[in-house]
Chains A and B, each alone.
Chain A
Amino acid sequence: MGLVIAALSGCLFGAGLLISGMLNPGKVIGFLDVTGSWDPSLAFVMGGGLIMSFVGVLMARNRSAAMDGQKINVPDGQQIDGKLILGAAIFGVGWGLAGICPGPAMAGLGSLALEFFIFMPVLIIGLLAGRFLRGAL
């Protein structure tokens, strides 16, 4: 059951990223370019996504366990620390440079575009470096 859910969820995530325009780095950068000729589309991705995700949060609150019997694992940290802010700031610079974030980086491999195959190994090196840095700081 857990694997069926993972497959369905991955399938919806991949289709949603493609249809919404998130898989197109040029469109993502067009959204970030607020002072230029602005494409507000990604605000609508966020809107549509948040509504469904919020319904999920409400449904999860009324359950003692997930449908496959597993414990519902939600991060409960509330502390705003330097790592969070520094990490998010670095992430944003990278996102603005390339127009690609981790979800579309994976789904984009399915487009067979060369750029995603260049992006992925460097992203993995960055993830491992960031993980090391988080432990060291």
Chain B
Amino acid sequence: MLIDFEAFTPMASTFGGAMIGLAALLLLVGSGRIMGASGILTSLVLEQSLWRIVFVFSLVVTPWILMQSGMVDISLTFVADDWRLWLGAFLVGVGSQLGSGCTSGHGICGLARFSKRSVVAVLTFMATAMITVFLLGRGV
């Protein structure tokens, strides 16, 4: 194992992570809801309730403002092969519905409740994600 110190951003990542956790805290204590991105997106597609529209709207607009205004300057890199993007999108969708959650619902919310199901889910998807990158390479 070799640590890539040039890419490593412990301060920004801890700070950003704390903001994500604070978002989950607020939704739970304020509205009694679990902040699971895949569940919120699926429900938004099937029945457009106002709170989900408002949540997703501010979720999309905030990075737009931060990037357009130049307050946050991050260059994004993507996988080069289109098939990885397409197949990845489909499998992320199928898997998060079948497994009842994704990185936010199981990772940030479920682990904080010590949910047994979430611990199993997070260990499983971390393992298969790492194996996928190991076998196919970064592809970036």
A-side residues, CB < 8 A to B, are: 1-3, 5-27, 29-30, 32-42, 44-57, 59-60, 63, 65-68, 70-75, 77-80, 83-103, 105-113, 115, 118-120, 122-131, 133-134, 137
Contact = CB atoms under 8 A, between A and B. Distances in A.
Interface in B43-82: 45, 50-52, 54-67, 72, 74-79, 82
B18 A48 contact: yes
Chain A interface, DSSP helix/strand/loop, else mixed:
helix
Contacts, number: 510
B86 to A, nearest CB: 6
A39 to B, nearest CB: 4
Contacts of A124: 41, 45, 93
Interface of B: 1-4, 7-10, 12-35, 37-38, 41-42, 45, 50-52, 54-67, 72, 74-79, 82, 84-100, 102-104, 106-109, 111-113, 115-117, 120-122, 124-134, 136, 138-140
Nearest to B85: A98
A73 B33 contact: yes
Contact of A41 (B10, B23, B35, B129): B10
A17 B16 contact: yes
B23 A20 contact: no
Contact of B21 (A48, A84, A122): A48
Contact of B125 (A25, A36, A89, A97): A89
Given A3-B50, A71-B32, A123-B41, 7 more contacts: A2-B30, A9-B58, A18-B62, A20-B20, A57-B28, A85-B121, A131-B97
